[in-house]
Amino acid sequence: MPYPNSPGKHDRDALITPKASINYFDDDPDPVPESVVLCFHDGLFEHVVNAYEGTAFDGESGYALDATDGQVGVVRVPGIGAPVTALEMEELIVRGAERFLSLGHVGSLHSDVSLGDLVVVDRALRDEGTSHHYLEPAKYVTASSDLCERLERVLEAANEPYRVGPTWTTDAVYRETVPEVERYRNEGVLTVDMEAAAMFAVATYRGVEASALFTISDQLDPTGWEPRFAETQTHLERAFARAVEALTR
């Protein structure tokens, strides 16, 4: 059976639109920055609010940075995974967002991509469901090349070691099997995450930009799993600073 199940879906208009949903719940929503960092960690969001001058929007879930004249902001996504990220992006796009950067900690498939390393994601392997409702079947969906290049220039100027490559996006954390890890590692996939493929698909479909900047929180190896989530905060903060530079240029 093909996926999604309805043939020709990609040529059909949706019944429910982001604009209709926004207007139903809020007839006067706050303006949003044109460039948005999507944040999935409370600790990072709290750091941004405490360390950067800015203005809150959408209650307390969004924060626009004064140093960028409000053109760059961060949004705390209310959850994790592809569906909630796509929903958040759709509604921000309707309100004027043009550029998205996912920033989070992820699993590494390689021993030489380790804790604290930064990864610029140039494409995502589509092993989740959401992206398939936006784009025709394909193994990968690409990030925005211009945004990736901007990230690379900033990281190089700051002498930050980094890698560029693909991520494996999956919905099923507890179904990441050894054969999959071995296969994707051999194909050159660097990391595993839960949102990037959906992000890139929404951006492609809606004609906006999207990329991802990751730091490593755990290692996946056929011999076992090494979690180090408690040690990622300073690396997330460092990555955020670089992200703002890239989005401001």
Instruction: Give the residue among 134, 57, 136 at the shortest CA–CA distance from 96.
Output: 57
Instruction: Give the residue among 91, 99, 101 at the shortest CA–CA distance from 38.
Output: 101
Element spanning 44, H or E: helix 42-51
Query: Cα–Cα–Cα angle for 197, 146, 76, nearest 5°?
Result: 50
**What separation in angstroms does the CA of 111 have from each of 103, 115, 117, 178, 223?**
21, 10, 11, 15, 12
Q: Helix axis angle, 145-157 relative to 233-248, nearest 10°?
A: 110
Assign domain 30-248 to a CATH class. Answer: alpha beta
How are beta strands 99-108 and 224-227 bridged, if at all? Answer: unpaired
Instruction: Give the residue among 73, 1, 12 at the shortest CA–CA distance from 39.
Output: 73
Q: Taking 70 as the threshold, does the pLDDT of residue 130 lie above it?
A: yes
Question: Residue ranges of the domains in the chain?
Answer: 30-248
Q: Taking 80 as the threshold, does the pLDDT of residue 249 lie above it?
A: no
pLDDT of residue 1: 55
pLDDT of residue 127: 97
pLDDT of residue 2: 67
36-88 pLDDT, tens digit per residue, is 999 999 999 999 999 999 999 998 899 999 999 999 999 999 999 999 999 99
The neighbour count for residue 168, using CB atoms within 10 Å, is 28
| Residue range 148-160: mean pLDDT, rounded | 97
* Helix/strand/coil for 74: strand
